[in-house]
């Protein structure tokens, strides 16, 4: 694992590993508590049963939630690949055409003068500007896709930290419940860890949602900017009179000697 999204891959791998450890820890907790209940006073045993049921509810809720989330985890690499495709297959072509369509690079530059030449230049300049504007849109599109990829990566890093914390608490709880007198405290500590997990999930999810909303607004803005009903700047000036000896005795195109 490596590259710009190596941390994302590591986060996913660590969560998948932690899921297995936490599930084993829960089975061990159940076994230890069931064995220890036989030696506890009725009142304490009843309280331990209730707290264990509460822990079970919180743990299974977290287990199911993170497992389902993993199935739709997204892919920063795919987003970056899409951005690169826009760069290599579209932006590069637009950039090349922008340079080629610059009036200074036109084959006719320096060879003609007159009203038609002036009108023709305005058309070329408008086309060039449209291409340059499109280039700016494509640059922003690539940047936004990479920003979304960063958000996905950062979100899963936060999820890994949160779930590893819960997993660690479950493992410690499983070990602590081996001792009968430590069962109540161990269960209570694990319940607290579950609450911390959900708090971290809420915080990370809010940050992630805000980031997605912001980047979606950028993409919507780019779509609006580029959506001119499929039109492209059309020539509005007249530059078709290339005659030399017609009635007006003047050609709109005059060669430069």
What pLDDT, on the 0 to 100 scale, is given for residue 100?
A: 80
Per-domain residue ranges for the chain? 6-228
What pLDDT, on the 0 to 100 scale, is given for residue 1?
A: 47
d(CA 25, CA 131): 61
What pLDDT, on the 0 to 100 scale, is given for residue 197?
A: 98
- The pTM for the full model equals 0.83
Secondary structure of the chain in HEC code, one letter for each residue: CCCCCHHHHHHHHHHHHHHHHHHHHHHHHHHHHHHHHHHCCHHHHHHHHHHHHHHHHHHHHHHHHHHHHHHCCCCHHHHHHHHHHHHHHHHHHHHHHHHHCCHHHCCCCCCEECHHHHHHHHHHHHHHHHHHHHHHHHHHHHHHHHHHHHHHHHHHHHHHHHHHHHHHHHHHHHHHCCCHHHHHHHHHHHHHHHHHHHHHHHHHHHHHHHHHHHHHHHHHHHHHHHCCCCCCCCCCCCCCCCCCCCCCCCCCCEECC
Tens-digit pLDDT profile for residues 79-112: 999 999 999 988 888 888 888 878 777 777 777 7
What pLDDT, on the 0 to 100 scale, is given for residue 159?
A: 98
Regions of the chain where pLDDT drops below 50: 1, 229
């Amino acid at each position: 694992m490596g590259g710009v999204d190596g941390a994302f891959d590591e986060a996913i791998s660590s969560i998948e590993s932690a899921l297995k450890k936490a599930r084993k820890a829960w089975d061990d907790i159940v076994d230890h508590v069931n064995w220890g209940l036989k030696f506890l006073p009725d009142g304490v045993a009843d309280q331990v049963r209730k707290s264990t049921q509460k822990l079970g509810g919180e743990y299974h809720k977290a287990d199911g939630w993170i497992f389902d989330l993993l199935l739709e985890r997204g892919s920063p690499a795919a987003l970056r690949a899409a951005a690169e495709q826009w760069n290599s297959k579209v932006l590069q072509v637009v950039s090349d055409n922008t340079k080629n369509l610059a009036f200074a690079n036109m084959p006719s530059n320096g060879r003609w003068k007159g009203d038609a030449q002036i009108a023709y230049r305005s058309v070329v300049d408008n086309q060039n500007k449209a291409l340059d504007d499109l280039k700016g849109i494509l640059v922003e599109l690539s940047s936004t896709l990479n920003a979304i990829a960063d958000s996905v990566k950062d979100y899963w890093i936060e999820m890994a930290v949160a779930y590893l914390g819960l997993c660690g608490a479950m493992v410690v709880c499983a070990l602590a419940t081996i001792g009968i007198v430590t069962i109540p405290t161990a269960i209570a500590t694990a319940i607290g860890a579950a609450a911390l997990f959900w708090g971290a999930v809420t915080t990370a999810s809010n940050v992630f949602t805000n980031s997605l909303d912001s980047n979606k607004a950028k993409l919507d803005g780019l779509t609006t900017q580029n959506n001119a009903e499929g039109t492209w700047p059309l020539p509005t000036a007249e530059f078709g009179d290339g005659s030399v000896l017609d009635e007006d005795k003047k050609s709109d195109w005059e060669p430069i000697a």
